């Protein structure tokens, strides 16, 4: 009998699953000036934005890559004159489309046209349930009243509506009213999103971080609303990192679920990844989306678990939270590859506890002045 030689298979290349969603930040222009905006401190100007043809190519490449959803975001995406064209193109490419908007420059005509073009869903942001407070936080007069009108128009256009409330020290006491408002305007989903403390949120952390008492009352309000609205409205709510014992799976894990494109065409694994010094990300002007996703070293840098230090490396949660947020790790520890300080197992977790103690100490005094999101102040707050 002939000797059977062992067959050596070529080393397997780990398969990278396609992203679920494309976050298309069409512009950083926005009529509002929220002091917790997720946009970077250095806002991109209109002249730097991708043109319509490039966005259409990106949408086609996303569909070919296996992306299922596109979220048109900003800034305020309705500030782009070609939004209708892009929505129509996304629908033709087979992408589910969601418009993330402040709503203030929408009207019945534009909403009807967007619905007709194939828009699938609208996420409308609110700054508060109290009009005066909402307008103060958003830095936009009569914005809240306009949003109430637009919410009705969204429903009349036949589009499903998610109401998004960003919560913090200065509005959290009115969370029950915000949840009631979401029900009143006919939202099928309500998102209660605590401010993320990087970028503008970090600049304003002392003014926006809630006290522990506020957080406990908010948790109770959400639990009550979930019980009252069960089967009718879904409520998304995540406890803020600063009060958690374990971090969130930021963006579903670095370069696992989402690909983010900035107004000028930079491809990022998350909308704040530009803050990560030392990492360089490609532009979709010169690089295909498939090459970005599969080959870019910046996208590969924190993907999976191979990059993890201890205690993440040997932790049984590492494929659940993927080590938390890299931007938060850098912002608080100076090291993007550190375990997220939100984790109680992180050697830097005391940084979170210190910030919480500072927020509690401030709870009864006046909040510091807000630094509003404005292009002209960006250089002053770095």
> Which residue's CB is nearer to ligand SF4, number 38 or number 259?
38
Name the minimum Å distance from CB 82 to ligand SF4: 18
CB of 63 to ligand SF4, least distance (A): 26
Measured CA to CA, the distance from residue 64 to residue 246 in angstroms comes to 36
Q: Is the dihedral of CA 315, 318, 321, 324 positive or negative?
A: positive
Rg (CA), the chain: 22
Minimum gap (Å) between residue 260 Cβ and ligand SF4: 14
Nearer Cβ to ligand SF4, position 245 or 361? Answer: 245
Token pair 């948790």 is found at 219
Of the two residues 282 and 328, which places its CB atom closer to ligand SF4 in the complex? 328
Our CB check for ligand SF4 shows the closer of 63 and 255 to be: 255
State the minimum distance, in angstroms, from the CB of residue 76 to ligand SF4.
6
CB of 165 to ligand SF4, least distance (A): 12
Which residue, 95 or 312, is less far from ligand SF4 as judged by CB? 312
Contacts of 204 (CB under 8 A, 6+ apart): 35, 36, 195, 368, 370, 371
| Residues of the shown chain interacting with ligand SF4 in the complex, contacts defined by CB under 6 A | 30, 32-34, 37, 39, 74-76, 102, 125, 246-247, 311-312, 315, 317-318, 321, 323-324, 339-340, 343, 345, 373
Give the residue with the Cβ less far from ligand SF4, 30 or 150.
30
CB 187 within 8 A of CB 180: no
φ, ψ for residue 247, nearest 5 deg? -75, 165
CB of 201 to ligand SF4, least distance (A): 10
Partner residues linked to 258 by β-bridges: 21
**372, 376, 379: which is closest to 34 by C-alpha?**
372
Q: Can you tell me the distance from the alpha carbon of 225 to that of 244, in angstroms, rounded to the nearest whole number?
A: 21
What is the rounded distance in angstroms from the CA atom of residue 289 to the CA atom of residue 258?
12
Residue number with CB closer to ligand SF4 (61 or 340): 340
User: Where are the strands (E) in the chain, listed by range?
Assistant: 21-25, 69-73, 96-101, 121-126, 161-167, 189-194, 234-237, 258-261, 267-268
Distance CA 35, CA 138 (A): 8
- Comparison of 210 and 247: residue with beta carbon closer to ligand SF4: 247
In the complex, least distance from residue 91 CB atom to ligand SF4, rounded to whole angstroms: 24
The distance of closest approach from Cβ of residue 25 to ligand SF4 in the complex, given in angstroms and rounded to an integer, is 9
Report the alpha-carbon distance of residue 348 to residue 345 in Å, rounded.
8
């Amino acid at each position: 009998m002939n000797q059977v030689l062992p067959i050596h298979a070529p080393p397997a290349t780990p398969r990278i699953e396609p992203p679920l969603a494309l976050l298309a930040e069409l512009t950083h222009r926005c009529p509002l000036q929220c002091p917790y905006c997720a946009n970077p401190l250095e806002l991109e100007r209109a002249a730097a934005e991708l043109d319509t043809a490039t966005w259409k190519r990106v949408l086609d490449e996303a569909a070919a890559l296996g992306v299922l959803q596109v979220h048109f975001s900003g800034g305020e995406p309705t500030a782009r004159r070609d939004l209708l064209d892009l929505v129509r193109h996304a629908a033709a490419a087979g992408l589910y489309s969601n418009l993330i908007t402040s709503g203030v420059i929408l009207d019945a005509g534009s909403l009807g046209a967007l619905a007709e073009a194939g828009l699938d869903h609208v996420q409308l942001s609110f700054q508060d349930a109290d009009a005066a407070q909402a307008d103060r936080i958003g830095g936009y007069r009569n914005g809240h009243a306009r949003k109430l009108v637009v919410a009705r128009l969204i429903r009349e256009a036949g589009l499903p509506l998610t109401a998004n409330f960003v919560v913090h020290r200065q509005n959290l006491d009115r969370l029950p009213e915000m949840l009631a408002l979401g029900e009143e305007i006919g939202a099928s989903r309500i998102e209660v999103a605590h401010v993320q403390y990087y970028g503008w949120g970090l600049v304003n952390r002392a003014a926006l971080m809630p006290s522990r008492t506020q957080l406990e009352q908010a948790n109770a309000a959400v639990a009550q609303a979930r019980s009252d609205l069960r089967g009718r409205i879904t409520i998304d709510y995540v406890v803020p990192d600063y009060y958690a014992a374990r971090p969130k799976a930021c963006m579903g894990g670095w370069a696992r679920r989402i690909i983010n494109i900035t107004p000028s065409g930079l491809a990022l694994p998350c909308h704040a990844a530009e803050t990560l010094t030392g990492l360089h990300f490609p532009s979709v002007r010169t690089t295909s989306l498939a090459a970005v996703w599969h080959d870019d070293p910046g996208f590969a840098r924190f993907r999976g678990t191979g990059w993890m230090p201890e205690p993440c490396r040997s932790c049984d949660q590492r494929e659940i939270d993927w080590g938390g947020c890299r931007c938060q790790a850098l912002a608080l520890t100076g090291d993007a590859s550190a375990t997220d300080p939100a984790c109680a197992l992180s050697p830097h977790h005391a940084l979170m506890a210190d910030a919480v103690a500072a927020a509690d100490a401030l709870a009864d005094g006046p909040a510091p002045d807000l630094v509003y999101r404005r292009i002209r102040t960006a250089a002053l707050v770095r």
